[in-house]
Amino acid sequence: MENNQWLEAIKKALDQKFAQDITVLDLRELSPSFDYFVLATAGSQPQMQALTQAAEECMKQHGYKLGHVEGLRSGDWVLLDFGVVVVHVFDRDSRQFYNLERVWGDAKIV
Contact partners, residue 68, CB within 8 Å, separation at least 6: 79, 80, 81
What pLDDT was estimated at residue 91?
A: 95
Percent of the chain at pLDDT > 70 equals 97
Please give the average per-residue pLDDT across 40-48, as a whole number.
95
Whether pLDDT at 95 is above 90: yes
CATH numbers and ranges of domains, the chain: 3-109 (3.30.460.10)
User: What pLDDT shows up at residue 6?
Assistant: 87
CA nearest to 18, candidates 110, 89, 103: 89
pLDDT above 90 (res 30)? yes
Strand segments, DSSP code E, in 1-110 are: 20-26, 36-42, 68-70, 77-81, 85-91, 108-109
User: What are 64-75's pLDDT values in tens digits?
Assistant: 999 999 998 887
